Structure 1
Amino acid sequence: MAEPKFTFKTNSGDFSVLFFEGQEKISQPYHYQIRLVSTDVEIDIESLAKKRACLTIQNPKGQQRQINGVIVQIGLEEISVNHALYQIELYPMIQLLAYRRQSRIFQQKTVPDIIKQVITDAGLSSSDISIQLSGSYPQRVFCMQYDETDLKFIERLMAEEGIFYFFQQKPDKEVLVLGDSISAYLDCQPQKTIPYHSQSGSLYTDDEYLDQCSIRFGVHTGKVIVNDYFSEKPDVQLRVPNAADKHNELEIYEQSSGFFAPDHGQALAKSRLEHHRLSSRILVGKGTYSSLAPGHKFEIQQHPNASVNQLYTVLEMKQKGTQTQVLVHGEAGDEGTKLESSFIAILSEQTIRPAAISKPVAMSQTATVVGPEGETYYIDNMGRVKVRFHWDRQCEDNECSCWIRVNEFYAGSDHGSQFPPLINDSVIISFIHGDPDRPIITGRVYDGNQTPPIKPDQMVRNVIQTPYGHQVVIDDKNACLSLTTAGGDQLLMTDGWKEDGNMVRLASSDGHTFSAAEGDNLKGIKLVSKAGHTVSMIDDPSPKISVVDKGEQLKIDLDCDGKSITIDNADSGAITIQCTNGKIVLSAKTVEITGQSGINMSSNSHIAMSAGTIQIKGSQKVEIEGGMELNAKAGTTFKAESGATMSIEGGATTKVQGGALTEVKGALVKIN
């Protein structure tokens, strides 16, 4: 039996390598299928799942290359008299992240920081990753892992930022290397140079070699334009172009590229273009070279075309090997030990950029508005709120999300509406372009805890109610609209009721009301105080203006049709018209003053009456009295007449005098 060139080691079991086939590609976990032979047919293979293992490939010079990893699948394929045949699948440890699927939120973190957190959360140590980044990466205000495996998530983030990854093999483990420039490339181990031989051959010679090699040139995109929109700075121009030295007419215009500053956009445009330029010149080859690995550099020598003899970096590599001599005599073939490899590489002066990975399309979902304990509102100066998604297992405070914009039915620079969701409200979250990193609130909904403010039998009513208790009700069934404050003040507007017609009613919480209506009950305006006093302006059936006290004892009526004003006091009280410093004028064609018991006129100075004729008449008696003096004077004739007896009497002296003649006449005259 020839000495094996391929070996396999794990923490239990004694295995020999019969066959292996592996594929390694930049920015992907490598994958090896290995067929193993063992004389032990009772190995506990279940215990080997998720255990570390190592495949070693030894070249003809005795130099070794290890492929470390974890066993993700193992099976017993065949049992013969002399041995058992097993098959395993070997991946790097990072492949375990493909078995972790979740949704979570990262805030104010850079992509490298997010990647480190995801890897360490999965149980890997910081020594399992080597960050060789030369660029600067802005903090992401909000970054969501949306129903993705941890592996797919970090691969997507790296692709978005133009970060590639590969693996560095060490004696006891593999290390994940992150890079963004050619300085991150490593040398192929254990051998960096590879000779080119034109002859073909499969058996090991005294050295490794390359026997097939071709340079391929391809058309590629020559210009990339990235663009985005930042709602906090909508006037900032974010459109950024980046062009190659040729094929500029082959342009890609990428909208919503995920950046909010021009310098970041420039870096992204450059990264996108560098990815497309990878296909402009590639090297494709085959041979027996075992040292190849993605992200590693090697140099071709002895090629007849001198332009091929350059330094290259591996993008992709496949290899397979067999060693049938591990089988017992009679079962082994005559192939011996055999290794074949193929690869795709680029010039080492080119920067590797991974292909973009599409984000998962986020569908609408509900969430709960969060904020400080004891508060009702938690909004910023743009009316945005923060929410907690129902799937969020990590958020325990009011900072579960970024500030999220809220859809309003009216919004502009000098106009708009604002109905901010309140803490604990249930809202509908949509995502702009389906991007999980761009949530927006597009609606609000009720749930078992947040129920509508109206009862089921009132569902025809449209209601807006604030937490303080202010309420707007639009009732189509009863054709009315009302505005009610928490304190009980109300504005009611009805439309078309037979009793009240089109009515506007304003009521204060103290009991004051104002009504304006055109219905059977009221056609006009009515003001009622808390005590019940009313002021009415009636249009129909008889237009009038009335002021009435609570008990209707005192009334003032202005009859618009009869052109009259009536002041009525049904009680025994008085009606007083008073003007302290001015005068009161009563002016009409006829003025009547009537008193059922009497009419009193008094003045501290004098009372003057002037008319063409003044008639003072008492049905029984008329008394005219002057405290000091009484003067009665007529310009021509003064006549005093009595139907029976007239008495003129002076307490001391009575004087009757005519300027020319005094005449005293009667049927009988008595002078004493």
Structure 2
Amino acid sequence: MSIRCDLRFTFTAGAGADAFEVVEFHLVESLSETFHLDVQLSCANPAVDFGQILNRPALLTIWQGGQPVRYVHGSVTSFQQGNTGFRRTRYRAIVEPRLARLQLASDWRIFQALSVPDIATAVLKKHAITLDYEQKVTNPHAPREYCVQAGGTDYHFVERIMREEGFFYGFLHNAEGHRLIHCDRLWIFGKQPGLPVEYNPQAGGDRPGPALRSFTYGENVRTARQTQRDYNFKNPLYNQQTKRAGEGEGEEIYCDEFGRVKVQFPWDREGRHDEHSSCWIRVSQKIAGALWGHMAIPRIGQEVIISNFDGDPDQPVITGRSFNANQRPPYELPRHKTRMPLKSQTHKGEGFNELRFEDEAGQEEILIHAQEDQNNIVNHDETTFVGHDRKEQVEHDEIIDIGHDRTETVGNDEQVTIGQDRRHDIDRNDYLTIERNHTITTGKTAPNRWATTAATRPPPTNGWRLAGTWSNGWRAMRCWKRASQLSSARALSSYRLVKSSACTAPAEPSRCTTEASHWRGSPSP
């Protein structure tokens, strides 16, 4: 004889205008998962308003002995109408927690300097769940410097980061609602109230109280230990280098004929930091053409960024490089944040080559530094414009070879200082035009050196002109002989003169050898 059960079930949804009777229900719930209540209903109203039921609060109450012993509260996420009989119509409702609605929302956003519990609170606040939400935290959780929700649903994002920090969640139900609780310790929920549940493996029959009809016990193999090798660029492995087999110590560039290199991945626990740590990996360059382009081979110890073709880890490629605590930027930052350098380092040395741009307002500059030689090749024209001063310093020799003409124009003064000798070799003519004075000063007296200027030119004497003075007191005769007569005694005229280059004494003008010369000036009276 079966025992009569005093359990009964009620279901209310929406405003509660329609009375539903529970025909059957199936409830699935577990830790760290949203519960799922599938309830079969019947109602005398064959035209229930779905708008009053769907996405509205619903409550399933389990009664025993006239007292409620269990509540299941949630929101109706699905509602269906079935067949209509003589007096009643069948309905089906799916009830889930409000947390399940986060599966319908996705986003792209960044969280900075927030702990995981704070991030979860911010996401849940967006869905107005914070009033029925509680966190029971027993351990400190460090803020994350940078955390990204990359297009995933809000539900899976919160679940992922909370599980990474060791959180689990569950729900507490009452007649007024349900409460989401995140915990980082299992004992927080404590021992659940109620008597032990009877285990009745026999099929069929009624029991006076709740009973288990099926129970399964099992054991599984699980991970017993984990090794974390998260990489932090502020604290990289010191001197993480590889060397080529057979090479001596200190090698810093290791590549093949295609410019490929080998790397040591920080997650590779079996890598020995040698040439067998990876395959040859191609390096993305700024420009790559047939025997032309850009080439900068990563050196051992540099940090590189690796991507995979089509997500295949067997086809890695180096797509970038980055600085870290061991590989610092060329200049102190943010002090020199306006500098844009292209700076290399001498192979197995301390020197460097550099092309640097300074963009600070009022201090704009382009700097070129060559550690040894610098060669510039211009196949056609070269034009240089300097808006202000220009200074050029050569510590050793300078050689300028000009294949054709050279024109040099100085708008004001020109000063040339030569520490030792100067020599000019001219294959043909030399023309020098001086509008005013011309002074030559020598450190030693030279008897054969003489000079004359327009201001000190003496008048002609019997067709001859005296000029210059010997250092020993002799008057040197500069023999000028008129080749044409004055057309006017005081008018400017041209003279074609015959000059002597070897006047030995004033009294011996006949011994002067002559050669042609020109002079333009005022004639003597």
Q: Same fold (TM over 0.5)?
A: yes
Give me the whole-angstrom Cα distance separating, in 1, the residues matched to 2:507 and 2:108. 120
Residue among 36, 40, 56 paired with 2:45: 40
Residue among 225, 231, 234 paired with 2:227: 225
SS at match of 1:215: coil
Q: Is the 8 A contact 1:29 1:94 kept in 2?
A: yes
Q: Is the 8 A contact 1:227 1:254 kept in 2?
A: yes
Corresponding letter in the other structure for 2:209: D
Question: Offset of 1:27 from its aligned partner?
Answer: 0.9
**Counterpart in 1 of 2:215?**
213
Partner deviation per Cα, 1:97-132 (whole Å, 9 max, x = no partner): 222221222222221122222212211243x11222
Q: Is the 8 A contact 2:468 2:477 kept in 1?
A: no
SS at match of 1:153: helix
Q: For the structure 1 residues 575 and 172, does the alpha-carbon distance in structure 2 shift closer, same or farther, using more than 3 Å as the test? A: same
Q: Is the 8 A contact 1:59 1:208 kept in 2?
A: no
Q: Is the 8 A contact 1:165 1:178 kept in 2?
A: yes
Corresponding letter in the other structure for 2:231: Y
Q: For the structure 1 residues 410 and 156, does the alpha-carbon distance in structure 2 shift closer, same or farther, using more than 3 Å as the test? A: closer
Q: Is the 8 A contact 2:103 2:153 kept in 1?
A: yes
Question: Offset of 1:233 from its aligned partner?
Answer: 3.2
Residue among 135, 140, 146 paired with 2:144: 140
**Counterpart in 2 of 1:374?**
none
**Counterpart in 2 of 1:196?**
199
**Counterpart in 2 of 1:5?**
8
Q: Is the 8 A contact 2:5 2:207 kept in 1?
A: no
Give me the whole-angstrom Cα distance separating, in 1, the residues matched to 2:357 and 2:86. 83
Question: Offset of 1:50 from its aligned partner?
Answer: 1.1
**Counterpart in 1 of 2:317?**
none
Partner deviation per Cα, 1:36-95 (whole Å, 9 max, x = no partner): 100111211222111101112335795521110001111212222311111111001211
Q: Give yes or no for the alignment of 1:180 onto 2:184.
A: yes
Q: Is the 8 A contact 1:224 1:254 kept in 2?
A: no
Q: For the structure 1 residues 25 and 255, does the alpha-carbon distance in structure 2 shift closer, same or farther, using more than 3 Å as the test? A: farther
Question: Offset of 1:522 from its aligned partner?
Answer: 5.7
Q: How does 1:549-628 map to 2 (within 5 A)?
A: 560-562=424-426, 568-571=432-435, 573-577=436-440, 584-587=443-446, 591=449, 593=451, 597-598=457-458, 608-609=471-472
Q: Is the 8 A contact 1:410 1:416 kept in 2?
A: no
**Counterpart in 2 of 1:130?**
134
Partner deviation per Cα, 1:164-219 (whole Å, 9 max, x = no partner): 00111122211111111132124335x2422334x413443112233443432222
Give me the whole-angstrom Cα distance separating, in 1, the residues matched to 2:147 and 2:78. 33
Q: Is the 8 A contact 1:60 1:208 kept in 2?
A: no
Q: Is the 8 A contact 1:411 1:417 kept in 2?
A: no
Give me the whole-angstrom Cα distance separating, in 1, the residues matched to 2:324 and 2:403. 40
**Counterpart in 2 of 1:83?**
88
**Counterpart in 2 of 1:97?**
102
Q: For the structure 1 residues 102 and 217, does the alpha-carbon distance in structure 2 shift closer, same or farther, using more than 3 Å as the test? A: same
Residue among 369, 373, 379 paired with 1:497: 379
Partner deviation per Cα, 1:195-248 (whole Å, 9 max, x = no partner): 334x413443112233443432222222111121222333599xxxxxxxxxxx
Under a length normalisation based on structure 1, what TM-score does the superposition of the two structures give? 0.45
SS at match of 2:102: helix
Question: Offset of 1:414 from its aligned partner?
Answer: 6.7
Q: Give yes or no for the alignment of 1:29 onto 2:34.
A: yes
Corresponding letter in the other structure for 1:68: H
CA RMSD across the alignment: 5.0
Q: Is the 8 A contact 2:450 2:468 kept in 1?
A: no
Percentage of matched positions with identical amino acids: 18
Give me the whole-angstrom Cα distance separating, in 1, the residues matched to 2:508 and 2:78. 145
Give me the whole-angstrom Cα distance separating, in 2, the residues matched to 1:521 and 1:563. 14
Under a length normalisation based on structure 2, what TM-score does the superposition of the two structures give? 0.56
Q: For the structure 1 residues 512 and 6, does the alpha-carbon distance in structure 2 shift closer, same or farther, using more than 3 Å as the test? A: same
What are the ranges of 5 or more consecutive residues in structure 2 without an aligned counterpart? Answer: 240-264, 269-319, 338-355, 369-374, 393-397, 459-465, 482-505, 510-525
Q: For the structure 1 residues 413 and 180, does the alpha-carbon distance in structure 2 shift closer, same or farther, using more than 3 Å as the test? A: closer
Q: How does 1:101-120 map to 2 (within 5 A)?
A: 101-120=106-125
Give me the whole-angstrom Cα distance separating, in 2, the residues matched to 1:414 and 1:104. 30
Give me the whole-angstrom Cα distance separating, in 2, the residues matched to 1:223 and 1:178. 25
Q: For the structure 1 residues 532 and 414, does the alpha-carbon distance in structure 2 shift closer, same or farther, using more than 3 Å as the test? A: farther
Corresponding letter in the other structure for 2:230: D
Corresponding letter in the other structure for 2:386: S
Corresponding letter in the other structure for 2:80: G
Give me the whole-angstrom Cα distance separating, in 1, the residues matched to 2:6 and 2:165. 47
Q: For the structure 1 residues 222 and 419, does the alpha-carbon distance in structure 2 shift closer, same or farther, using more than 3 Å as the test? A: closer
**Counterpart in 2 of 1:65?**
70
Q: How does 1:194-593 map to 2 (within 5 A)?
A: 194-197=197-200, 199-234=201-236, 413=327, 416=330, 466=359, 468=361, 495-498=377-380, 500=381, 507-510=385-388, 529=410, 531=411, 560-562=424-426, 568-571=432-435, 573-577=436-440, 584-587=443-446, 591=449, 593=451
How many residue pairs align between the two structures? 363
Corresponding letter in the other structure for 1:213: F
Partner deviation per Cα, 1:457-484 (whole Å, 9 max, x = no partner): xxxxxx9895859999xxxxxxxxxx69
Give me the whole-angstrom Cα distance separating, in 2, the residues matched to 1:211 and 1:137. 42
Give me the whole-angstrom Cα distance separating, in 2, the residues matched to 1:150 and 1:170. 26
**Counterpart in 2 of 1:293?**
none
Q: Is the 8 A contact 1:61 1:206 kept in 2?
A: no
